[in-house]
């Protein structure tokens, strides 16, 4: 089952935790695996953070990046193929639950891409 959470609320993490942001919180012990093929590109993040792209635009562009990475990176497809047997896992990044965040875009994309995947609490 797929969950999402902020780094700052570890009580919301269920199963294996995966970092899906380019950076991680400083001064915190690493309690997660990294999945670089799920990170938004630096260019996309910079464009969004500058205000030149709104959240709807971020969603469109990030989904394009995910689809492209899936085609180009065998490790990405291998991870996707293994998702149904993973059990519970949580996608982590910085934003608090009430904030718009790329992890929600990613969660929805994964739910669409891996039909047998079920959604848990998406925060």
Chain segment 23-71, per-residue pLDDT in tens: 878 877 778 999 999 999 999 999 999 999 999 999 999 999 999 999 9
Range of the domain at 81: 2-122
Model pLDDT, residue 26: 82
Structural domain count, the chain: 1
pLDDT tens per residue across span 82-109: 998 889 999 999 988 888 899 999 999 9
> What tokens does 107 get?
């969660």
CA distances from 62 to 26, 44, 85 (A): 25, 8, 25
Model pLDDT, residue 61: 98
When pLDDT is cut at 50, 70 and 90, the band that residue 119 belongs to is: very high
pTM above 0.85, yes or no: yes
């Amino acid at each position: 089952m797929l969950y999402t959470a902020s780094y700052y609320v570890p009580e919301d993490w269920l199963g294996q935790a995966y970092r899906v942001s380019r950076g991680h919180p400083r001064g915190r012990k690493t309690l997660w695996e990294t999945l670089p093929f799920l990170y938004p590109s630096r260019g996309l993040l910079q464009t969004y953070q500058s205000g030149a792209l709104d959240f709807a635009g971020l969603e469109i562009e990030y989904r394009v990046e995910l689809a492209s990475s899936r085609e180009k990176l065998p490790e990405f497809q291998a991870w996707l193929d293994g998702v149904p047997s993973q059990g519970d896992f949580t996608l982590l990044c910085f934003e608090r639950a009430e904030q718009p965040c790329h992890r929600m875009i990613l969660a929805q994309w994964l739910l669409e891409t891996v039909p047998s995947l079920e959604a848990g609490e998406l925060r």
